[in-house]
Amino acid sequence: MLETMITEVREEFQIPPYFPNEGILNYLKEGEARLKFLNPIVDEENDATFKMLLKNYVYYAYHHKVNEFEENYGPLILSWQMGAERK
């Protein structure tokens, strides 16, 4: 799944072609690990909120602002976690 998201992320956030795919893949792996830690029961394939958060994590990581990601998306992450617990 992560490999297929590289192109999506590159296009959506206009990441230039000189930035290597491996760098985006590393950011995707970091974000995936962080989000799975926050919500261990996530359904990666079918959870649109997970995918949106992961893509935005990559954007923040690309700009070296990972701390701001959790700050800016904190309320959404919390509601995402609570929604997963109700299922």
Confidence of residue 82 (pLDDT cuts 50, 70, 90): confident
Confidence of residue 29 (pLDDT cuts 50, 70, 90): very high
pTM: 0.91
Is the pLDDT at 85 greater than 80, yes or no? no
Q: What percentage of the chain reaches a pLDDT higher than 70?
A: 95
Q: Which amino acid type is present at position 86?
A: R
Is the pLDDT at 63 greater than 60, yes or no? yes
Is the pLDDT at 76 greater than 60, yes or no? yes
Long-range contacts of 8-12 (CB under 8 A, 24+ apart): 8/55, 9/55, 9/58, 9/59, 12/55
